[in-house]
A and B are shown apart, each in its own frame.
Chain A
Amino acid sequence: MNCNEVAERIPALASGLLPADEHDACRSHVATCEDCADALRGANALQFLRKRDTGTAPEGLFGRILDDVTRTAENDFAKRRFWMGTAFGGAIAASLLVAVMVLGVLVRPGEMAPTRAEFYVSTEEARTMHIAIEADQALPGAEISILLSGAVEVDGTGGRRELVWTDDLESGINRLSLPLLASGVGGGQMVVRLRHPESEQMFVIDLPLDT
């Protein structure tokens, strides 16, 4: 058997549902193929979760949740606006000037609405977004976070939704390139967050799908 044939049978192999001859052939392949051995390890782990005893939903839970979510939904919009106003009001008041430019489009600090940067992600290829982080003074040990939502990922990171690292930003323009890839339909959004003891700023970038 080759990898494709084994890959199709991995869930059944993990469940113990393969006929004996296929089971033996799969096992022989897995013993010599690291990638398929990893896949079987993953499938075994999911089998373990699948077999967990789940019990039944407590009496009255649906009604309780129904009441809660209808009440929450009514207040949600107002809550969200309050949170944004508070967070970004603080950011604007910070003394440090930090701005992010995406492909020449300036994203102003505090601007919560998604930008209209002309950048489209594709499912076919990774496209590199160049980001310039402008600081009016050196920022040693700044924490940079990239938070992704929707069907977008940074190529080569295995679909991670949050990337966080620390870097020394120089005074002036600091450039960053991100290879972005659409992982499905619908596009997504990226939040770039900069943290430093003297300031915290967030920028939201819309990433529509190139159709």
Chain B
Amino acid sequence: MSKRTSDKARFAALVQPHFDALYGAARRLTLSPSDAEDLVQDVCLKALESIDELQAMEFRRAWLLKVLYHKFVDRQRAKARSPVDQAVTGADSFGPEGMTGNEFGPDEQVDRDAHAARIMRAMSILGEQECGLLALRDIEEYSLEELQEVTGLPKGTIKSRLHRTRSRLGRLLSNKELQKPLLRIVDSEK
């Protein structure tokens, strides 16, 4: 059997059981089926490149989803050259009270897509690692123990990182963070 055929068969055996979960996650993060397919394809390419690593893993689905969220962040950034500016526009509709049914207008799907797009842009500002960790917990509902296995981080670190990232996401969605300078050039000859 050629290496290509062998890798293809291995890939199918390892990834297909998780494919629906991957596609579902991609659809939640994109506004069209074709964008979701592109995102899943990016993940599959990465999985094929890492086929040996993937085979040795216990938590393959979590790894694949983590890659998906990283790729999602990459794609969002490529799509929006200035994601911060776009993320801050619009009123804050994710208040601590939660979303109410009244905030959508007559064309509800369009409004919902606009809300989703705004969250996605804010998520892309969080950073790949942070976005992936938070999404695995709050969207994919992985337990802290599972996240510990996937990341290798202590549970306390995961908890604090999750809270910090949730708060950051909340601040981004309510426009609080965006006036800060990104970076300051300093003299290094001290």
Contact = CB atoms under 8 A, between A and B. Distances in A.
Interface of A: 7-8, 10-11, 14, 30-31, 35-50, 52, 54-58, 61-62, 65-66, 68-70, 72-74, 76, 128, 130-132, 146, 151, 153-154, 157-165, 167, 175-178, 183-185
B98 interface: yes
Contacts of A131: 188
Q: Which among B7, B129, B159, B163 has the greatest number of chain A C-beta atoms within 10 A?
A: B163
| Band of interface residues on B | 35 or more
Given A43-B138, A70-B48, A177 B188 contact: yes
B88 interface: no
A41 B138 contact: no
Interface in B17-46: 19-20, 23-25, 27-29, 33, 37, 40-41, 44-45
Given A44-B94, A45-B169, A175-B189, A163 B174 contact: no
A7 B160 CA distance: 9
A134 to B, nearest CB: 13
Q: Which among B12, B138, B169 has the greatest number of chain A C-beta atoms within 10 A?
A: B138
B interface SS class? helix
Given A42-B166, A151-B129, A177-B188, A157 B183 contact: yes
A48 B99 CA distance: 8
Contacts of B165: 42
B96 interface: yes
Contact of A57 (B23, B77, B151, B177): B23
A41 B183 CA distance: 27
Given A45-B170, A159-B129, 16 more contacts: A35-B167, A38-B170, A41-B174, A43-B170, A48-B99, A49-B116, A52-B28, A54-B28, A66-B8, A154-B183, A160-B127, A161-B73, A162-B77, A165-B183, A176-B186, A183-B130
